[in-house]
Chain A
Amino acid sequence: MTSYVIKDVSILDGKPTDILIRDGVIAEVGSGLKGDEVIDGTGCIALPGLVDLHTHLREPGREDAETILSGSRAAAKGGFTAVHAMANTDPVADTAGVVEQVWRLGKEAGLVDVRPVGAVTMGLEGTALAELGAMADSAAKVRVFSDDGKCVHDALLMRRALEYVKAFDGVVAQHAQEPRLTQGAQMNEGVLSGKLGLAGWPAVAEEAIIARDVLLAHHVGSRLHICHLSTAGSVEIIRWAKSRGINVTAEVTPHHLYFTDDVVESYDPIYKVNPPLRTAADVAAVRAGLADGTINIVATDHAPHPSEDKDCEWTAAAFGMTGLESALSVVYETMVVTGLLNWAGVADRMSVQPAQIGRVSDQGQPIAAGAPANLVIFDPRASELVEARKTVSASRNTPYAGRTLPGKVVATFYRGTPTVRNGELNV
């Protein structure tokens, strides 16, 4: 196996050094190292390979939007070495058979660890538990369960799921959305929704479910994860829950760190997403929550859609944005440039903690001799104009198109093999 040496790269916030990668592991860290191939890391940052807890790969069922292979390529391009494939496929990933299929296709693609998420309820219908144990025991070893896209809104079913997954150290990742309060909802409920005549998605519909679920998790002594938290009130509830010792973790998406709801004024469905983009006060609160650790991780909620589902009127459009390829640059712009996080913080929020929550071994490890060689080299001095037609994802629905984002993934190593080199896919 070819060995690689990355020269003069800063590991997180450290001084420039060399990293030698050989036989799938980090062989040595130090100065003056030699390898078969040399990658210049001058001015760049080395982080552990990113781990996404929330990715929609669409296969099986919507291969027109994304496949496990195309999504894996997009992930590698963005610096990821592991993704969690959400369960809302067709058929739904609610049996051992489907999760094993996703897991096997991920292995065949071989660009990132593809960790299937299992559905909490059969068919995502919110009425009966799926075979959680069978999925946990399958070759896919599912540990994260979610009906994402839909809320497990039945309190009793949510309680049972939280209890049941304790048997195999699983976690329920809740899409917090009270369904009755969000019927037909199109955008954040606020002054702007009233003006635009778009049905509102009120913050309370998210916060009410989070409040209920942290109390349930406390009552039954389970761990709980909250998907794509988006409001200032949700940050407050999680902060309170953690202060009480409740075992809850939470994620925020790059787009909720970056955008405010005023972009919806264009009625351009590229900005249509669930939960919706929120106010400036909410954006400030989720950034602060991510900085102080209340929010544990960044997760992309990468949601590819074919162009016909976005090239239409607002209410007819699908919810969702792609995010794998832009995530690190967006976090850099919103959290690092602003002084809210250093690189160690970025590694913690985008690699270490997501791997812990998902119980992913071999990921989120410190960059040190003996660790699996999953890492990303990021050049913060570069910047790039995002162009939808240039995305690696099979879909083009990036909300950053036409914007310039700072920084660039120069290289990604997955188990010792460069999936990205010189800023381009190497596969």
Chain B
Amino acid sequence: MKHLLSAADLSRDEALQILDTAKQLSVATEQGVGKLPPLRGRTVVNLFYEDSTRTRISFEAAAKRLSADVINFSAVGSSISKGESLKDTALTLEAMGAHAVVIRHNSSGAPHRLANAGWISGGVVNAGDGTHEHPTQALLDAYTLRDHLRGGEGDLTGLNVTIVGDVLHSRVARSNILLLNTLGAKVRLVAPPTLLPYGVEDWDCEVSYDLDSSLDGSDAVMMLRVQRERMNAAYFPTSHEYSNRYGLNVTRMNRLSQNAVIMHPGPMNRGMEISADVADSNRSVIVEQVANGVSVRMAVLYLMLGGSESLK
């Protein structure tokens, strides 16, 4: 794996290799062996053009646990905010000898440009680009689903995953749809028609405008963050109406099957797309998602930068 730009880059076997590696790394971490050595001497740059506390910290923790040197390069307090172009920043990172660049950018496709424009020679990991993709989020979601519903092994064949909310602007949804399909799960999208992408009927998933009728048979419900600002662009009339029609509350949660889990990529708008009671319930695996994120990102960096060396 040279780069990880899209969840579509991963075959079933490659995705399972990442999940299996993440499991091993998680076990090794839990056993308290401290830092693992495989990326000693490697430099990982976190290049973040958007505020993102959890994803940046997650990648930083992942790289450090594998003994990589980590450089955090964020839009605040660097030359990015002085208007330096992505190209010049990339050339700088190349000159500093970055082996991998983890990039979060508000422009869809920026990681593709970074990987393919000939500016740098290292690997590129897409940590979320615009409204395009967020493949490591999909991997950590798959890891979490597998852990809860498939005993931590194999793929996700037969699972029904319902993704609810602002699919139009969601990079999490795009990556999840791709990876869940690769791993054999069935995806259903639930959203008001205004928040579904044009042409969604050609996507490899079911689409519904009604949350209540979509809960039966769902093994997992993934709630997407809905920005209140969308209201002003006429995507929906009021946050109150959105919450009534598409929010996950206790009444709806109780209609889910016994084993179904509730997920959210964060950050949550409590009271908007998810009620606080649901977020904090024992059905919610939201905090686990965060923990699994570190393992999965360790696996990605390990396979990208040190895959030939033994883990032991």
Contact = CB atoms under 8 A, between A and B. Distances in A.
A329 to B, nearest CB: 27
Interface in A182-241: 186, 189-200, 202
A201 B213 CA distance: 33
B107 interface: yes
A190 B87 CA distance: 29
B116 A266 contact: yes
B255 interface: no
B179 to A, nearest CB: 14
B56 interface: no
B110 A190 contact: no
Nearest to B200: A194
Contacts of A314: 107-110, 113
Interface residues of B, number: 26
B85 interface: yes
B197 interface: yes
Interface stretch (B27-35, B130-138, B304-312): B130-138
A18 B169 CA distance: 63
Contacts of B116: 266-268
A313 B109 contact: yes
Nearest to B201: A191
A197 B113 contact: no
Q: Which one of A190, A202, A313 has the highest number of Cβ atoms from chain B below 10 Å of its Cβ?
A: A313
Contacts of B141: none
Contacts of A266: 112, 116
Contacts of A312: 85-87, 113
Interface string A294-315: 0000000000000010011111
Contacts of B174: 195, 197
Interface in A269-326: 308, 311-316
A200 B133 CA distance: 16
Interface in B71-130: 85-87, 105-110, 112-113, 116-117, 129-130
Contact of B130 (A190, A194, A197): A197
A312 B110 CA distance: 8
Given A191-B199, A197-B133, A267 B171 contact: no
Contact of B109 (A198, A199, A311): A198
B199 A194 contact: yes
A311 B88 CA distance: 10
A377 B132 CA distance: 47
A190 B86 CA distance: 28
A226 to B, nearest CB: 24
Contacts of B109: 196-198, 267, 313-315
Contact of B198 (A186, A190, A268): A190
A402 to B, nearest CB: 14
Given A197-B108, A197-B132, A197-B171, A313 B199 contact: no
B90 to A, nearest CB: 10
A392 B133 CA distance: 39
Contacts of A311: 85, 87, 117
Given A308-B85, A312-B87, A315-B130, A200 B112 contact: no
B112 A267 contact: yes
Contacts of A315: 106-109, 130
Contact of B199 (A190, A198, A267, A308): A190
B229 interface: no
Q: Which one of A193, A199, A267, A312 has the highest number of Cβ atoms from chain B below 10 Å of its Cβ?
A: A267
Contacts of A200: 198
A194 B173 CA distance: 11
B132 A189 contact: no
Nearest to B114: A313
A389 to B, nearest CB: 15
A186 B130 CA distance: 12
Nearest to B85: A312
Interface string B177-200: 000000000000000000001111
B12 to A, nearest CB: 20
A202 B198 contact: yes
B133 A313 contact: no
Contacts of B106: 315
Interface string A164-197: 0000000000000000000000100111111111
Contacts of B105: 313
Contact of A194 (B86, B107, B197): B197
A253 to B, nearest CB: 23
Interface in B128-179: 129-133, 171, 174
Contacts of B200: 194
A268 to B, nearest CB: 8
A190 to B, nearest CB: 6
B109 to A, nearest CB: 3
B193 to A, nearest CB: 13
A197 B200 CA distance: 12
Contacts of A308: 85
A279 to B, nearest CB: 11
Given A186-B108, A193-B198, A194-B200, 6 more contacts: A193-B197, A267-B112, A311-B85, A313-B107, A314-B108, A316-B85
15 contacts: A190-B199, A193-B198, A193-B199, A194-B199, A196-B108, A196-B109, A197-B171, A198-B108, A198-B109, A198-B131, A200-B198, A267-B112, A308-B85, A313-B107, A315-B106
Give the top 6 A-B pairs by smallest Cβ distance, nearest first.
A197-B132, A194-B197, A267-B109, A191-B199, A197-B131, A197-B108
